Chain A
Amino acid sequence: MNDVAVIGFASSDVSVTTSGVETLVPVFEAALAQAGLERRDVDFWCSGSSDYLAGRAFSFVNAVDAIGAVPPIAESHVEMDAAWALYEAYIKILAGEASTALVYGFGKGTAGELARVLALQLDPYTVAPLWPDAISVGALQARLGIDAGLFSERDMAAVAAARDDASSVETLLDRPYVAMPLREHDVARVADGASAVVLAAADRVGGRRAAWISGIGHRVDPQGFGERDLTAVPSATAAAADAGGLDGVQVTALHAPFTHQELLLRRALGLPDEVRNVAFGSNPMFSAGLSRIGAAAEEVMSGRASAAAAHATAGPLLQQNLVCVLRSES
């Protein structure tokens, strides 16, 4: 089996156009420069995005223009966060079908009313026709956690305060609710963005800085509100086990669109308090999860950590989860 490593990462927190093409060009250049590769050295390209962010069918097709795919390239796309595109690329390398890959995600989350758009992820017969917005749905989960005694609004505010040094828990708790029991600081700001991660098999890593992928797991839970305990995240727990467990992990990069979800994830992943989390500031839909992998890889490549775990989530209420463990040694 091939060992696979992250050797490059770049991201942008803007997306000028709905298509994202103009944003992706410099992101590709930066990620490839860090990896020390040329565009033509990439064996496999894989992306993640959603047509519903742009409101157009086939919105990912335009993004191919940013690659310069003449002559043609080996390429694929998932209608998911690009963290899952990274998983597909990782599999291609493990299968021996590629030695290098560039994975990218993009989206202009602010182009539409995202909280309303996300209602279309819910059951189209019995739930979506009511247009429950994603923030209200998240609030129902937060209250379940509070009522179960798992955490308090103060604990949630503490997560937000840790993300933003300028805020104290007390001042945050004085602010009004946006959807009880959620306040503005409990909801990750919707953002535009794009990111790219470069992967390589061991024989292509050479002397480059590398964060070795020791394991990736991903699972999905049933969606129905009554079909699982909404305060547990069994798919995250199972994904971490599939990734080989989190032993030795010193830092995490969790993808938690709500503060209470970061608390639920820490419980589901069994993270001790001393494990540091790279703060999740805003939520650039469909590149956020990939960027978490990039952030965890940077912790390892920079030498700040010898082992880091990245997490990505998709769907309502942490329905689908991916865990990627990165280490300094292969």
Chain B
Amino acid sequence: MDTLSAPLTIAFDYTRSLGPVLGRFMAGLRDGRVLGGRTSDGRVHVPPLEYDPDTHEPVTELVEVSPAGTVLSWTWTDRPLEGQPLDRPFGWALIRLDGADTPLLHAVDAGTPDAMSTGMRVRIRWAAAPVGHIRDIECFEPQDPEAGAGVCGGGDGSAGAVVEIMTTPVRLHYRHSTSVEESGYLRGLAEGRIVGRRCPACRKVYVPPRVCPACGVATDEEVEVADRGTVTTFCVVNVPFAGQRLTPPYVVAQVLLDGADIPIPHLILGVPAADVRMGLRVAAVWRDRADWSTTPENIDHFEPSGEADAPYETFAEHL
């Protein structure tokens, strides 16, 4: 049986606090200057190290280096990927700026790979609106060999206000794949049925079906369970938080469906939060049949079924 899969994108704009060394380095970029960090052996590192690799002491001395340098190694990208510095074919290069002892990695806008070579001279193209970020260097561009050596400011590295935080978006794309068991469960939901599976070893019924986590064996026997059950325990969510999909307040309960041996979390509506209690009998409220698909969202929420509360002993072992 084909298993179901679907795309998943995760995205967040990370806020990176920089500390004294990187904060000055990024401030320099904002101001159109590249600062290297000098370590105890006299070498100038670009990007700067925060701690000296030999003495382990914090690096404190920053010096300005040239915006021009030499390519130590390179490659070529025909199809730039999301987030990369240029959206047309470009070269990646390790570039040692004049005045520095170590190379930094960046893009070279050379047009064609024929224009790239080890030892070529390149120069920074600054971004139009610098903010104190590594991407204030838009990219490097080939430098006319006649232009001579880059101008090294040779300053003492003092710059304008240190950058405290840089924002870095991270956006990644995945394809999430379900198991045979979960796909069967999802296809059942598309038909308005809740299908679990029984463990061949402990005989417990798992909904949604999965490898039996207690026994470590695949569950084999399909078992349809009821769309009603018992609230074992619950909480009232009063607090907003990032990633939330519902507006507080709402009740999230553990619902032990009749015929299942493990509760599922779900919303309890149709009753004041203060009246939700352990042992409350509830029934699923399905969305309009026309909207059903292979998703648990077919069940909108649970609400009281009107049955008498389940005795504590009947669900105590599920707490």
Contact = CB atoms under 8 A, between A and B. Distances in A.
Asked whether any CB of A lies within 8 Å of a CB of B in the complex, the reply is: yes
Contact of B216 (A65, A116, A147): A65
Contact of A136 (B92, B166, B174, B181): B92
A177 B89 CA distance: 14
A222 B96 CA distance: 18
A225 interface: yes
Contact of B213 (A68, A111, A143): A68
A64 B181 CA distance: 18
Interface string B45-85: 11101000100000000000000000011111100011111
Contact of A140 (B53, B92, B179): B92
B118 interface: yes
Contacts of A149: none
Contacts of B101: 226
Nearest to A112: B174
B123 interface: no
A229 B73 CA distance: 13
A152 to B, nearest CB: 15
> Which of A111, A136, A143 counts the most B-chain CB atoms under 10 A from its CB?
A136
B213 A224 contact: no
Interface stretch (B102-110, B229-237, B304-312): B102-110
| Interface core residue of A39, A116, A177 (most chain B CB under 10 Å) | A116
Given A140-B94, A224-B49, A67 B216 contact: yes
A21 B211 contact: yes
Interface string B149-192: 00000000000000000101010111111111110000000000
A129 B217 contact: no
A22 B197 CA distance: 14
Interface string A179-203: 1111000000000000000000000
Contacts of A162: none
Contacts of B319: none
Interface in A34-79: 39, 52, 54-55, 64-70
B177 A18 contact: yes
Given A120-B170, A226-B103, A111 B135 contact: no
B62 to A, nearest CB: 14
A17 B218 CA distance: 14
Interface string A102-118: 00000010011101110
B105 A127 contact: yes
A170 interface: no
A275 interface: no
Contacts of B46: 226
A21 B213 CA distance: 10
Given A126-B47, A226-B101, A68 B212 contact: yes
Interface string B106-118: 1100000100001
A150 interface: no
A260 to B, nearest CB: 12
B215 interface: yes
Contacts of B8: 55
Contacts of B103: 225-226
B273 interface: no
B16 interface: yes
Contacts of A124: 14, 16, 168
Interface string A128-168: 11111100110111011001000000000000000000000
Contact of B178 (A17, A55, A115): A17
B228 interface: no
A247 interface: no
B192 to A, nearest CB: 25
Given A147-B118, A179-B75, A226-B102, A16 B83 contact: no
B3 interface: yes
A268 B212 CA distance: 46
Contacts of A25: 211, 216-218
B177 A179 contact: no
Given A25-B218, A116-B82, A117-B172, A136 B77 contact: yes
A179 B79 CA distance: 10
22 contacts: A16-B177, A16-B180, A17-B182, A18-B176, A55-B8, A65-B211, A68-B212, A68-B214, A70-B214, A115-B81, A117-B172, A130-B135, A132-B92, A137-B92, A140-B74, A144-B72, A180-B75, A182-B75, A222-B53, A224-B45, A226-B103, A227-B102
Given A113-B172, A128-B168, 16 more contacts: A22-B180, A39-B216, A65-B211, A65-B213, A68-B214, A68-B215, A68-B216, A69-B216, A113-B81, A116-B83, A120-B170, A126-B25, A131-B83, A133-B84, A177-B76, A225-B103
Q: Which 3 A-B pairs have the closest CB atoms?
A: A226-B102, A68-B216, A139-B75
Interface of A: 16-19, 21-22, 25, 28, 39, 52, 54-55, 64-70, 108, 111-113, 115-117, 120, 123-133, 136-137, 139-141, 143-144, 147, 177, 179-182, 222, 224-227
